[in-house]
Amino acid sequence: MPYRVLVADSLPGDVLEAWQNETLEVMNRAGISAEELKQEIQNADALVVRSRTKVTADLLQAASRLKVIGRAGAGVDNIDLSAATRSGIIVMNTPGGNTIAATEHTIGLMLAALRNIPQAHLSMKEHQWDRKRFIGRELFEKTIGIIGLGKIGREVARRLSAFQVNLLGYDPFLTPELADRLGVKLVSLDELFQQADIITLHTPKMPETLNLVNKDRLAQCKDGVVIVNCARGGLVNEQDLLEALNAGKVGAAAFDVFENEPPQNWELVDHPRVIATPHLGASTREAQEKVARQILEQIAYFFETGVPKNAVNFMAVDEKLLPVLQPYFELAYRLGQAGAQIGSSNGHARLIAVSVRFYGDVTKLPVDPITSHLLMGVFRKSSGNGQPTEFINAVNAMPLARERGVEIEISRKDHPLTSHTHLIACDFHFGNEMVHLSGTVYAKGIFRLVEFDKYNVDANLNGSMIIIENEDVPGVIGKTGLILADHRINIAHVSSGRLKESGTAVNVFNVEGEITSAVLGEIQNIPQVKQVWYATTEALG
């Protein structure tokens, strides 16, 4: 049965039709209202949007089947990422799909603002011939400040260099070497505002960039500065810009995006030195076809392989690494299940911290997604976690842990802890108690518990385990075996670890059969037994 993909915004119909296949059932609902969307999303496995549709927490509460949200474009500020992540929904975008379209629109607006092209065009339509009124300025030898040198910012820089301008750039993540290759001089934000004749914005919308261009920043600028925004509404404080235009501080502005779309206050758009377009940066036939194909391809690939390309709320894994990572996902998931049950079996306090250490060959792999699978195992086996197990997956397990105040420590170790060439060691802290487990992958489908607390063991991480700590004296294994036999419980494997200095031992019984509290109570009543734990682990699925 194909996965149902609900397309809420306008995308090329021929592209959508081409993706109707055995994997995807594409439902084109372009322009759907918020109320209708809330109804139809209940039966959707994937949602595709552009910038029009607002994906809110309230909407996602109705999306019981939804697994992925695809943004046909780069910006995801119309999607509540926190709510999607809490719901275990992958959010992916299509970076680069509309890069050229947005770049060319930026250059077009910049030239139009400098040369008064829209105003002159309207004058001609009114049959007026007023050359003096529309005297403009050249780009040649101007200093242009580019805020944000991601994909679009870099392409803007490459094209502007042909105009023989001086390029300044601000981007805290760009290396000086790459800036040099682009012909951009990296400066501080203050220097850029003070020195630029034209400022163009190419940053995402996030708390750090809201109102980036404001009254104080504009006061730093040269008189007559030109402001161009084809990135995101909200980067510029529109009221502050309007005041600077009226005061003559800002010579012109060119905007494709606004705080509210469409604008609720048209005063800025109506200003005679402002040119504006209705969020057309990505609106070319070529760009729309490209992002439509790209997002549907990514969604199909996700459903076929489980690998989310261009995910913005989860670490995407290179598909080539997936076969190598999959056994460690499985091992971590089983360790998390065991740790949660052992920690809660004797009435310990809630989980407050998890420390995960990677040893040997596994340190060469991405460890965050492995840790996410471990935490998924923890939450799926924790009693009273407050959520249905299907709610918890590798997308939301780590954010959910942090939301609940669980401290997470992840580290890589260069040297093997034991003779095993790859090992995952975990410490689960429950109040003042700690559960220590280590596991490894022996071979395909064979996962072993090799450390329990301070004991070295060699037990199967599969199915039911009864773990006993006892005095290191003869007869404990035999007495346990008799109790299990009386209850028709079969022993599949036994592993023992001993500590001579303390005179104690641990025995891990892999068992088959129904384990009740009465069975565990009988074992606990063996005089030499100090403590008994029970845990079940199951395959990742």
- What is the C-alpha separation between 461 and 449, in angstroms, rounded? 6
Question: Annotated catalytic residue: which of 154, 232, 334, 357?
Answer: 232
Question: Annotated catalytic residue: which of 138, 141, 261, 409?
Answer: 261
Question: Annotated catalytic residue: which of 4, 29, 279, 380?
Answer: 279
> What is the widest separation between alpha-carbon atoms in the chain?
108
- What is the C-alpha separation between 290 and 72, in angstroms, rounded? 9
Q: Is residue 375 within 8 Å of residue 314, measured between CB atoms?
A: no
Tokens of 511: 């068992």
- What is the C-alpha separation between 217 and 113, in angstroms, rounded? 21
CA nearest to 448, candidates 324, 325, 330, 326 = 330
- What is the C-alpha separation between 297 and 319, in angstroms, rounded? 14
Q: Is residue 373 within 8 Å of residue 426, measured between CB atoms?
A: no
Annotation says 279 is catalytic: yes
User: How far is C-alpha 125 from the chain's CA centre?
Assistant: 50
User: How far is C-alpha 219 from the chain's CA centre?
Assistant: 37
Dihedral angle over CA of 362, 323, 465, 509, nearest 10 = -80
CA nearest to 25, candidates 299, 302, 292 = 299
The 10 Å Cβ neighbour count of residue 248 is 10
- What is the C-alpha separation between 382 and 375, in angstroms, rounded? 10
What is the DSSP code (8-state) at residue 408? E
Annotation says 238 is catalytic: no
- What is the C-alpha separation between 506 and 496, in angstroms, rounded? 6
Q: Is residue 149 within 8 Å of residue 171, measured between CB atoms?
A: yes
Instruction: Give how far Cα 397 sits from Cα of 39, 113, 368, Å.
Output: 28, 49, 11
At residue 23, what is the residue type? Answer: T
β-bridge mates for residue 504, sequence order: 471, 499
Backbone angles phi, psi at 218, to 5 degrees: -65, -30
Instruction: Give how far Cα 218 sits from Cα of 244, 370, 428, Å.
Output: 7, 47, 52
Alpha helices, DSSP H only, in 200-311? 215-220, 238-246, 267-270, 285-305
- What is the C-alpha separation between 188 and 205, in angstroms, rounded? 19
Q: Is residue 82 within 8 Å of residue 314, measured between CB atoms?
A: no
Give first-to-last CA distance, the chain, whole Å.
19
Pairing label, strands 198-201, 143-147 = parallel
What is the SS3 assignment for 138? coil
The 10 Å Cβ neighbour count of residue 113 is 25
Please identify which residue in the block is written with the tokens 């009221």: 239
Annotation says 538 is catalytic: no
Q: So which residues are the catalytic ones?
A: 232, 261, 279
